Amino acid sequence: MIGTERGGRTANVSWGSIIAGVVTFLAVTILLSLVTAGIGLGGSGIGATIWSVIALVIALAAAGFVAGALALRSGLLHGFLTWATSLVVALALTVWLSASLLGGVVSSATQALSGTDVTQVVEDVQSNVDEEEAQEQTDEALQDAQQTAEDAAETAQAASWWGFAGLLLGAVIAALGGMLGVRSVVKRDPDTTAAPVTTTR
């Protein structure tokens, strides 16, 4: 479970098994996300949210199980490292996709504004707005922005706590999956637990 030498191995970590677990996590996540999309498009937002959580649990459990079964040792360690590596890979993919989308939006906006006389538009707006009305609109906008910022801070705080709890639970699930993967192989093949043969003089 935790890490012992088996079959003459000197290392407790098998990165090949961890990579296999990460690939399993990504594949299962993509597969089950299609079900999530189907539920969401069907008009059930709550159902899609619940299924997203269930799909994540299934993907992490499968990833930990595969990593532990292939490693034949240190099930908890391989399951946990599979979770950690999957988290880093998912974060990197999210940042890359976000950067790509943001670049496309900026490019489209630049092209749209390239043929527009922005100064003329601003002058037209200023000429059509009275100073008192402009001041009132500015004050209202500031109040709305302040309220929106407070609401966003409360939402972000709650999301941070829920995210922490979810990630911690994911680590536990992946680690337990790795432990079960090792136990399944050991029960099927008892020779994997045999201690190395030592000779005496």
Range with lowest mean pLDDT among 18-22, 44-48, 51-55, 93-97: 44-48
Q: Output 81 or 123, whichever has higher pLDDT.
A: 81
Mean pLDDT of the 111-129 span: 57
pLDDT at position 143:
77
* Whether residue 122 has pLDDT greater than 70: no
Q: Which residues touch 68 (CB under 8 Å, ≥6 apart)?
A: 17, 74, 75, 78, 79, 177, 178, 179, 180, 181, 182, 185
Please report, rounded to a whole number, the percentage of residues in the chain having pLDDT higher than 90.
Answer: 7
Res. 187 pLDDT band, cuts 50 70 90: low
Rounded-to-integer distance, Cα 184 and Cα 128, Å: 76
Query: Residue 172 class from Cβ within 10 Å (0-12 exposed, 13-18 middle, 19+ buried)?
Result: middle
The per-residue pLDDT for range 131-156, each reduced to its tens digit, is 666 667 777 777 777 777 777 777 77
Q: What is the mean pLDDT of residues 108-127?
A: 59
Percent of the chain with pLDDT over 70: 71
Q: Structural domain boundaries of the chain?
A: 13-95+167-187
